[in-house]
Amino acid sequence: MNRLAPLARLLAPTVAAAATLATLAAAPASAAPAERDHRAADAPVERDHRSGDAQPETTVSAQPRRYRRRPGPKLMAPLRIDIGAQGANTTHGYLPGVELKLGIHWASLSPTPTDFDVGVGVFGAVLAGPKDDAMPDADNDVLYGGAYLEVGQTLSHGSFWRTWASGRGEYLGSSAFGVEQSGFGVAGRLSAELYASGVGIEPRGVFLGTYAIGVYAEVAGRGLGDDVSALQVSGGLTFRTPLVFGR
């Protein structure tokens, strides 16, 4: 505190001057209220004779009303997005985790209901391992990610709902307990979704495709290393977005 006292004394006049300027800037009208009142008092009769009671309305209407544009995305791809829980058995026990998949799919782009889907995309997952107090720097997690190609067919459908069966092939890289490798994987998937599709074209933009929300469950086989089971199970929420292009 003794080291800061000289600095505080040096800055005190500057702070006081800045506060004074801020006060003057914050209330400029207080410096000239009388002058404005005199000017306004000299010409009330003229203004009343020329425009009468309409003067206040004229002043308000002189400022045009502005409208904000409707919020929303200006550009959106025809995507399918999966967010779910993932898990696998390992030599360290069962590891829970989360997964994310993001891809461009035909069923998201189609403006009419379709029974067939094909898509390409990327995916990734993190499985959190147990903490070891004896080895705090040890890598006890399992991480993997890569690219996929998926083909699907509807099992049943209605006017606003449908169920899917899909198969997926993957190319991925993984890191399991500090050991890195790359390989391939396959997955089978069942999903059900509520959807709405259509097309809209107007001067401000284009809407083409399908909105959807649903649930999914998957069983996958992936080579993640000798310490991780080749079988993984996951499930979660799935979403579709259409193609949107606006300006």
Instruction: Assign 112 a pLDDT band (cuts: 50, 70, 90).
Output: very high
The architecture that CATH gives domain 76-246 is: Beta Barrel (2.40)
pLDDT at 75: 85
Q: What is the pLDDT of residues 51-97, one digit of tens each?
A: 445 555 555 555 555 545 555 567 889 999 999 999 999 988 899 99
Task: Delimit the domains of the chain by residue range.
Answer: 4-61, 76-246
pLDDT at 130: 73
Residue 7 has pLDDT above 70, yes or no: no
Instruction: Assign 100 a pLDDT band (cuts: 50, 70, 90).
Output: very high
**DSSP symbols for the chain:** -TTHHHHHHHHHHHHHHHHHHHHHHH-GGGGSHHHHHHHHHHSHHHHHHHHGGGHHHHHHHTS----PPPP--SEE--EEEEEEEEEEEETTEEEEEEEEEEEEEHHHH-SS--SEEEEEEEEEEEEPPPP-TT-TT----EEEEEEEEEEEEEEEE-SSEEEEEEEEEEEEEEEETTEEEEEEEEEEEEEEEEEEEEEEEETTEEEEEEEEEEEEEEEEEE---TTB-SEEEEEEEEEEE-EEEE-
